[in-house]
């Protein structure tokens, strides 16, 4: 799922009709001594990042004066998020009042969007304890049923109208933007207004493109999914993937191990990784290549995996393919061997490749000295066990 940074999310919710706190953003080069906040203290200071649970992580600070604000901001800018320095801090007006929990999320169990609400909320609130209204994307929101849910949740009479109106606004935004999650926690109720103070937003990365204009600016960086700065090889694979965005995508990220790991298909990759892990091998990367991705993507994947520093073995695996010609794997592997200079006599390479064109592919790869290649006559597990044996010999 893709998420929005706090500032982008607040600005977007405001356009959807929700009341949000006043806020300003500051950057690392902002002169904190000269900073003038256009609304009165106390202020809430927090990182402007696309992660939830900031309060639970101790990243949200209430500051009573300028000195406390400067201290909190400096402290946040000194921290790393997803492997990079923080790019912005958000300073909000402090809103006091009762705390409510309101959320709309696609729920796997219900297989529908569900609306949850509770007359309590805030940091650490357990959303699973709330009343649930099961909505439908086929029919419009049933206001009467929603009202019943709100009442059953225990909201006081004077808060019914604001809760129902806010949920209606959230629902309209949810449908229009094809959201996966819109959570307001807390909605602060001061007796007159409901203000969305804490928010979490998630969106389907594969939604209809027509909804893009109806969403906030989203964080889609590789670093956001990895939680650290990408390596040059990860960037190279991501770039190759983006060059042919109309073809099936691929996954590549590096780990702490020393076995280059290139497996096609999500299930086969998980299964084979388990096998190697069970036998004491630690892959240096995880890959998932969807057959149909094309030769350029596959070559980029092999080149990235085989160029990871200090690898001591290579595993190539394919569950029996239906459509894609196995010759692509021979082409990509041989190109990567050429460009990376990996010597199969010192770095064992074991492949199990099966599917269309298998006979020719196996002939080509078996002609390369040092490569150990299996077809459908052997399982992925057998190929893995051969790599284990070969590595033991190299190490002895």
Partner 1 sequence: MTTPVSISSMLADPGGVVVQGITGRQGQLETRWMLDSGTHVAAGVTPGKGGQVVHGVPVYDTVEEAIAKHACRASMIYAPRHIAAGAAIEAINAGVRLVAISAEDVPMHDMIRLIDVAKEHDAVVVGPNTQGLLVPGLGRIGSPGGTDVNERFSPGHVAVVSRSGGMTGEIGHLLHLWGFGTSVQIHLGGAVMPATTLRDGVALAERETITKITVVFGEPSSSQEDVLAAAIADGQMRCPVVAMVAGRFSDTFPAMLPFGHAPRATGDSATNVAAKYANLTDAGAFVAHNFTQLREQVERLTANLATHVNPEAS
Give the one residue of 310, 322, 346, 369 binding partner 1; rule: CB under 8 A.
Answer: 322
- Binding track, positions 120-149, relative to partner 1; x by CB under 8 A: ------x-x-------xxx-----------
Whole-number Å distance between alpha carbons of 258 and 394: 14
Give the one residue of 42, 55, 248, 344 binding partner 1; rule: CB under 8 A.
Answer: 248
- Stretch of 7-15, 42-50, 142-150, 269-277 lying at the interface with partner 1 (CB under 8 A): 269-277
| Cβ closest to partner 1, residue 188 vs residue 352 | 352
- CB of residue 219 to partner 1, shortest distance in Å: 13
Contact indicator for 81, 49 with CB cutoff of 8 Å: yes
Closest-CA residue to 176 (of 7, 48, 16): 16
| Cβ closest to partner 1, residue 190 vs residue 278 | 278
Binders of partner 1 among residues 63 to 122 (CB under 8 A) are 106, 108-109, 111-113
- Cα three-residue angle 11-15-16, rounded to 5 degrees: 115
- 265 touches partner 1 by CB under 8 A: yes
Whole-number Å distance between alpha carbons of 159 and 5: 29
- CB of residue 267 to partner 1, shortest distance in Å: 2
- Stretch of 205-213, 230-238, 337-345, 388-396 lying at the interface with partner 1 (CB under 8 A): 205-213
Binders of partner 1 among residues 345 to 384 (CB under 8 A) are 355-356, 376, 379-381
Contact indicator for 121, 101 with CB cutoff of 8 Å: yes
Three-state secondary-structure class, residue 80: strand
| Cβ closest to partner 1, residue 36 vs residue 209 | 209
| Cβ closest to partner 1, residue 120 vs residue 255 | 255
> What does the block give as tokens for 130?
């709330």
Helix ranges restricted to H, 182-319: 222-226, 232-243, 266-278, 295-306
State phi, psi for 184 to the nearest 5 degrees: -115, 110
- CB of residue 319 to partner 1, shortest distance in Å: 3
- CB of residue 108 to partner 1, shortest distance in Å: 6
Region of 276 (left: φ > 0; alpha: ψ -120 to 50; beta: rest) is alpha
Give the one residue of 148, 266, 338, 370 binding partner 1; rule: CB under 8 A.
Answer: 266
| Cβ closest to partner 1, residue 21 vs residue 313 | 313
- 206 touches partner 1 by CB under 8 A: yes
Whole-number Å distance between alpha carbons of 383 and 83: 36
Site size with partner 1, rule: CB under 8 A: 55
- CB of residue 284 to partner 1, shortest distance in Å: 14
| Cβ closest to partner 1, residue 57 vs residue 277 | 277
Which long-range contacts link 303-306 to residues 24+ away (Cβ below 8 Å)? 303/236, 303/335, 303/336, 303/339, 303/340, 304/233, 304/234, 304/236, 304/237, 304/252, 305/233, 305/252, 305/260, 305/261, 305/262, 305/336, 306/260, 306/336, 306/337, 306/340, 306/342
Closest-CA residue to 95 (of 193, 11, 217): 193
- 393 touches partner 1 by CB under 8 A: no
Give the one residue of 264, 285, 305, 306 binding partner 1; rule: CB under 8 A.
Answer: 264
Contact indicator for 274, 356 with CB cutoff of 8 Å: no
| Cβ closest to partner 1, residue 156 vs residue 270 | 270
| Cβ closest to partner 1, residue 20 vs residue 262 | 262
**Interface with partner 1 by CB under 8 A: which residues?**
1, 106, 108-109, 111-113, 126, 128, 136-138, 175, 178, 180, 204, 206-209, 225-227, 248, 251, 253, 255, 264-271, 273-275, 277-278, 286, 288, 290, 318-323, 355-356, 376, 379-381
């Amino acid at each position: 799922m893709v998420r929005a940074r706090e500032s982008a999310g607040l600005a977007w919710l405001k356009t959807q009709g929700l009341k949000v706190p006043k806020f300003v953003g500051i950057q690392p080069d902002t002169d904190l001594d000269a900073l003038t906040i256009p609304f009165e203290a106390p202020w809430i200071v927090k990182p402007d990042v696309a992660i939830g649970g900031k309060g639970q992580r101790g990243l949200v600070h209430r500051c009573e004066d300028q000195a406390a604000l400067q201290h909190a901001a400096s402290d946040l800018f000194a921290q790393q998020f997803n492997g990079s320095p923080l790019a912005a801090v958000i300073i909000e007006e402090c809103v006091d009042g009762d705390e409510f929990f309101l959320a709309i999320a696609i729920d796997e169990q219900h297989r529908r969007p569900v609306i949850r609400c509770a007359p309590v909320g805030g940091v650490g609130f357990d959303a699973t304890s709330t009343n649930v209204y099961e909505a439908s994307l086929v029919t419009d929101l049933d206001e009467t049923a929603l009202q019943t849910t709100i009442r059953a949740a225990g909201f006081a009479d004077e808060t019914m109208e604001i809760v129902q109106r806010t949920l209606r606004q959230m629902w309209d935004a949810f449908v229009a933007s094809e959201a996966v999650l819109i959570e307001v926690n807390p909605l602060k109720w001061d007796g007159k207004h409901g203000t969305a103070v804490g928010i979490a937003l998630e969106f389907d990365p594969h939604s209809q493109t027509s909804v893009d204009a109806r969403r906030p600016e989203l964080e889609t960086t590789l670093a956001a999914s990895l939680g650290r700065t990408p390596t040059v090889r990860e960037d190279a694979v991501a770039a190759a993937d983006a060059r042919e965005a109309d073809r099936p995508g691929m996954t590549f990220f590096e780990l702490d191990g020393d076995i280059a790991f290139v497996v096609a298909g999500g299930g086969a990759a998980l299964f084979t990784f388990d096998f190697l892990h069970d036998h004491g091998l630690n892959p240096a990367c995880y890959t998932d290549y969807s057959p149909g991705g094309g030769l350029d993507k596959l070559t980029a994947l092999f080149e990235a995996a085989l160029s990871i520093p200090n690898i001591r073995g290579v595993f190539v695996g394919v569950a029996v393919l239906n459509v894609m010609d196995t010759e692509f794997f021979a082409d990509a592997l041989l190109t990567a061997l050429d460009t990376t200079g990996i010597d199969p006599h010192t770095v064992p390479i074991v492949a199990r490749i099966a599917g269309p064109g298998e006979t020719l592919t196996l002939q080509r790869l078996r002609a390369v000295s040092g490569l150990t290649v299996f077809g459908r006559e052997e399982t992925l597990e057998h190929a893995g066990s051969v790599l284990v044996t070969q590595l033991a010999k190299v190490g002895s």
